[in-house]
Amino acid sequence: MQPPPTNSPTTGNNPDLAISVRSVTKRYGSLTALDSFDLEIKKGEIFALLGPNGAGKTTLIRILTTLMSPTSGEAFVYGMNSAQHGREIRSLIGVVPQENSLDRYLTARENLELHARLHSMEKKTYKRRIDELLELFGLAGRQHDFPDTFSGGMQRRLVVARALLHEPKVLFLDEPTTGLDPQSRRAVWDYIRTIAGKMTIFLTTHYLEEAEHLCERVAIMDHGRLIAMGSSAELKAKLTGGATYEIEFAEGSEHYAKILENMSCVGKFTITGRVVDVSLERWECLAEVITALNGAELRRISLRENTLEEVFISLTGEGVRE
C-alpha cells in the first residue's frame, strides 16, 4: 500500500544541511531495521551515531551512501535523494565501511590509485594527494606492500586514507576504530580532529569516549529508532539526572543524610559510612544542598560527572546483543 502523501517537500532543499533523513523505514523481510527514522545533520558538523549491535546504524549508512534504498521514506545528501542520485552522491562522499574492503591483490598504493581512477581524478592530482595521505597516515614506507601484510590498524588507516582521497564533502565512518589498539585509535581520532570543519563527518561507534571527544552532537539509537540526541553534556544532564556529588563528612553523616534524602531536588542517594552520594536533577539544586549543609563538618565535596557510557547503558539496557 502506498503511504499517504505528506506536505513535506520531496527534495532536501535546505542548503545548510549535509544530511537529511525523513521518516526512513527499512525492512529486511519481517525485521524492521530502521523504523520511521528522522535525522538532520548540518554541513561541517561532526556527528556520532551510537547504538548496540543490530541497532540499525550500518543500515542507515548503507542508505545514505546509496548502497540500498529505504523501504519507505527519503534520505538526502546535499539535497539529493539517495535513491535517485547515486552517482552524484557517491562523488561527494567518502566511505569507511564497517568491514575493510581493500583489494588484497593490489598494493596499498595501487588500492589508492584504483580509487582515484574510479573517481575520475587526474593522474597528476592523485599522485600528489596519494603521497600526502600515505605520509599523513604513516603508510609511506609500506605503500608497495599488500594489505594482508598490514596490522589491523594500518589497514584501517589505509581505508580512511582512501575515503579521503577525492576530497569528499561528507565522510561516513562506520565503526572506524573498532578492534584497533589504543595508539591506532588515537591516530584516527587525531586525523578526524584535523579535518574537522572542512567536511561533514558522520561516524558510528561503540566507543562512547570517542563520540564524547570528537563530536558536537551525538545520537543514540536502538531497535531502528532514535532514543536520544544532543551534545554529550546535554545527554548526560538530561538522561541520568545531571551530576553526582560525593560528600564526605568528618562526622554527622547520618544526620545530614536524612536532611538531604528528603530534599525534593535530590535524586539518587546512597550513604556509605561517612560518604554520602547525591545526584542532583539540576545544577540549581547545588546551592540548596550547600545551604542545607550549613554547619556540617565537611571533609570533601567532589563532583563525579555521569559518563556517556552510563547514559548509553541506562537507555539501551545491560543485555548483550547479537
Ligand X SMILES: Nc1ncnc2c1ncn2[C@@H]1O[C@H](COP(=O)(O)OP(=O)(O)O)[C@@H](O)[C@H]1O
71 binds, among Mg ion, ligand X, none (CB under 5 to 8 A by kind): none
Among 157, 176, 171, which residue's Cα sits nearest to residue 92?
171
Binding interface with ligand X (CB under 6 A): 28, 31, 33, 51, 53-59
The nearest distance, CB 55 to Mg ion, in angstroms, is 8
55 binds, among ligand X, Mg ion, none (CB under 5 to 8 A by kind): ligand X
Site for Mg ion in 10-69 (CB under 5 A): 57-58
The nearest distance, CB 110 to ligand X, in angstroms, is 30
User: Of 55 and 293, which CB lies nearer to ligand X in the complex structure?
Assistant: 55
The span of 92-100, 193-201, 225-233, 299-307 binding Mg ion (CB under 5 A) equals: 92-100
User: Of 99 and 148, which CB lies nearer to ligand X in the complex structure?
Assistant: 99
Among 223, 206, 217, which residue's Cα sits nearest to residue 316?
223
* DSSP 3-state of 40: strand
Size of residue set near Mg ion by CB under 5 A:
3
279 binds Mg ion (CB under 5 A): no
Among 271, 317, 261, 295, which residue's Cα sits nearest to residue 55?
317
Among 230, 290, 296, which residue's Cα sits nearest to residue 265?
290
* DSSP 3-state of 260: helix
Alpha-carbon distance of 176 to 310, in angstroms, equals 22
User: Of 54 and 86, which CB lies nearer to ligand X in the complex structure?
Assistant: 54
User: Of 58 and 232, which CB lies nearer to ligand X in the complex structure?
Assistant: 58
The nearest distance, CB 320 to ligand X, in angstroms, is 13
Query: Grid coordinates standing for 204?
Result: 558510528
DSSP per-residue letters across 171-233:
EEEESTTTT--HHHHHHHHHHHHHHBTTBEEEEEES-HHHHHHH-SEEEEEETTEEEEEE-HH
User: Of 34 and 134, which CB lies nearer to ligand X in the complex structure?
Assistant: 34
Query: Grid coordinates standing for 138?
Result: 604513516
Measured from each CB, the residue nearest to Mg ion is 58
User: Of 26 and 57, which CB lies nearer to Mg ion in the complex structure?
Assistant: 57
138 binds, among ligand X, Mg ion, none (CB under 5 to 8 A by kind): none
Query: Grid coordinates standing for 267?
Result: 535524586
92 binds, among ligand X, Mg ion, none (CB under 5 to 8 A by kind): none
Q: Which residues bind Mg ion (CB under 5 A)?
A: 57-58, 98
